[in-house]
Structure formats: C-alpha cells, structure tokens
Amino acid sequence: MRPLEDLRILCVEQFVAGPFGSMVLAELGADVIKIEDARLGGDVARYVPPLQQGQDSVYFEAFNRNKRSIALDLTTPAGRDVFRRLAAHADAVYSNLRGDVPERLGLTYAQLADVNPRIVCVSLSGYGTTGPRRAEPAYDYILQGMAGWMALTGEPGGPPAKSGLSLVDFCGGLVAGQSLLAGVHAARRDGVGTDCDVSLFETAMAMLTYPAAWQLTGGIEPTRRAHSAHPSLVPFQNFATSDGWIVAGGSKEKFFRGMVAALGIPDLADDPRFADFPSRRENESVLLPILAQAFATRTTAEWIKELGAAGVPCGPVNTVEDALDDPQTHARGLLLEVDHPDLGRVRQVAGPVRVGERPSEHRRAPKLGEHTREVLTELLGTTPEELATLSQSGAFGPDTP
C-alpha cells in the first residue's frame, strides 16, 4: 500500500497551485476526486497551449495525473447536495479559489460539519479568507512582485524579474498539502475537523526568510546582485566559462580554498583581502574579476570535473533538456510516461515527495467528468435512475455522466 491510500480528498481546484499540491498527495496514494464545473469546460488548465487538443493539454496533464474527475455544478441545489453527500465519505475538502468563494460554495468546516464532524476544509487562496484583499484574484506573477521577490531577481540596473517557474504556486500547493495532512492527523486523533486557511501571499512572504529578517532587524534592504550572486556569501554565483555558464560556491572556507586551488590561483586563499566572508564581501570588486577571468579559460564540463575533484559545490547552468537528461535525473527515476487517448505518449517529471519506493505506475490525468458515474456509484450507491434524475436537475452541468 502507498502511504496515503486511506485518504480521500474532494478537490475544487483549478490551474496550478491547488492541482500541484493535490497531485503530490495523489502520487502518495490518496484518492483525489477533482470536482469540475462542466458549464465552464472544467479546469481552465485544460486549454493552455502548447500541446493542447480538445479538452486536454500537456499543461493539465502535468498537474493532474493519478486523480479522478467528476462533473458537478456547485451553484445548483442538486449539485451542492451531491457534494455534501460525498463529503460524508471524505477526509478533506481542498480548494484553491478566491478567499470569499469557499463560504459561498459551502466548502467551509462550519457548513460541512453536520454531515462529517471530522472533515478538514483546506482553502488555498491568493490572500486568505480574511483581510482587505480576500476577494481579489491573485496569480503567481502578481505575488512574486507584491512579496518583493522581483526586486531581488535579475541583474542590477535591469527591470524587475520573476522566477522562470511559478514558485509561489508550487510552494503554496505544498504548504496546502502539508496543512491538509496536519489537519487530518488532528481530526483522526481528536474526532473533530477544522478549517485550514492557506494563502499564496503568506507563502511568498514566509519565503522571504533571511532578507526579511535583515530588513526588519537592521533596516538592510536586499538588492539584486550581478550574475545571480548570493546576497552575502562571496564567491557564490554564476561564472561564464569558455562554452557556457557554471554555478560555483565558496560557501565555506574549505570550499573557497578548493575553488582557487582548482582554478590555478591558490595564493588567493592566503591573501588577507580574502581571508574570510566579511573581507571577501568587502573586496569582491577585486576578487570576482580574477575568478571570472580564470573561469573563462576552460569549458563548463572541465571546470565541473576540476571543482568536483576538489569537493567544491558546483553545477552547470543547464537548459531544460539538459536537466531532464542529467544522469542524476535518470538514476533517481524522475521521469515517467503515461498514455493519453488524444495527446499520445506524455512524458513528465515525477513528484518530489518520497516515502518508501517511488511508485512505478501512474494514471494519466482524467477526462472532464470521466469518473462521475464511478464515484457516485462507489461512494453513494447511486443507481442509474438516480443519476438520470440528478442530471435532469442540473447537478452535473450540461453533460450527463
């Protein structure tokens, strides 16, 4: 058995943050039932290009494998009634909507405790369910700007820049999943469920960590650093090589000594200007050009070999293709494949959480409403006649399961 096979989650989710977090739980064995509104075509991620066809896309596949999908219109009395009946058989309700929406759709603990006192209701919203921004939409891009991330990213003198990945969304999903597991643990221990009010804004703010502590404690405003350099440890940054780029770090004294020895300039280790972290930071305008000149004389692969032999932390600045083909990627079994009826063979990266052996089999992301009949029959004992009645009442939106 996988670790979470005894966990059932009803997910009212869309796009990235919520689906990423629930997919990690699904990969660990949780029964993740994705609630989609067929009136709106389901999760909007189904229509994101490129590699998009009909009601499916590779983008959607990347966040929704190993889940089941049911079509349910929560704006109708019949749809809400079905949802409440399903909640009686679930451990958690998990949503990523605006902060004012969960209560409107009946997704809070106060609204579901009567059918399941142990239910855990997780809301992952942009700004939380309270505060002046609770009803505002939020996206990763916006929050990277609001939380100060963009002010720290990019080259000095250039425009603010976001990360190349949706890190607020991804981390928010992981935080929501962690909150869900903590809530379910407490509910199984105490017999009482709860709400988990998680926000992308708080996730992004919490990840400011030491730059925030520097600013709050000493009034130090962190700034962008050339070549993505560490804000305080010198040297630790990108260096241009004869054929590309390398990231190398002297984050301990032994690493700095190993670096300059590997570069053929060992005397720098005994130069009083570079004796420790503070002195290297103070004299970086002298030190870094010397290191840069040395790095430029050989290829990235050659420096990886030399620095690696000296025990210095380093790595190439890869393309995505290079990263996916790295020997460590293959050694850790990070790549997986699923067959899709419309998209063909879809190759993806496995989830990051490991508990025991990584699962060897994966299910493709579900079609919109693919498991409506299956789930309602399995959990509620719904008959074909009852399904037809529910469909006529609008419970499933425009499509009959």
Which residue bears the tokens 């930071």? 281
Active site residues: 169
Q: Are the C-beta atoms of 109 and 123 separated by less than 8 Å?
A: no
DSSP string spanning 303-317? HHHHHHHTT--EEE-
Domain extent for 69:
8-206+331-392
Whether the pTM exceeds 0.85: the reply is: yes
**Residue whose C-alpha is closest to residue 250's, from 286, 228, 227, 277:** 277
Share of the chain above pLDDT 70, in %: 99
Residue 149 has pLDDT above 70, yes or no: yes
Domains identified in the chain, total number: 2
Query: Same domain, yes or no, for 20 and 134?
Result: yes
217 in any annotated domain: no
Reported as a single tens digit per residue, the pLDDT across 48-95 is 999 999 999 999 999 999 999 999 999 999 999 999 999 999 999 999
User: pLDDT tens digits, residue range 313-352?
Assistant: 999 999 999 999 999 999 999 999 999 999 999 999 999 9
Residue 119 maps to a domain: yes
Could you give the strand order of the β-sheet that contains 236-240, starting from the edge strand earlier in sequence? 236-240, 245-249, 314-316
Does residue 382 sit in the same domain as residue 286?
A: no
| Residues 195-229: tens digit of each pLDDT | 999 999 999 999 999 999 999 999 999 999 999 99
Say if 401 falls within a structural domain: no
Is 234's pLDDT higher than 80?
yes
CA distances, 93 to each of 96, 159, 186, 397 (Å): 10, 40, 15, 20
CATH number at residue 388: 3.40.50.10540
- Mean pLDDT value across residues 266-277: 96
**pLDDT band, residue 359 (cuts 50/70/90):** confident
In a domain, 212, yes or no: no
CB 45 within 8 A of CB 14: yes
**DSSP-based three-state secondary structure for 162:** coil
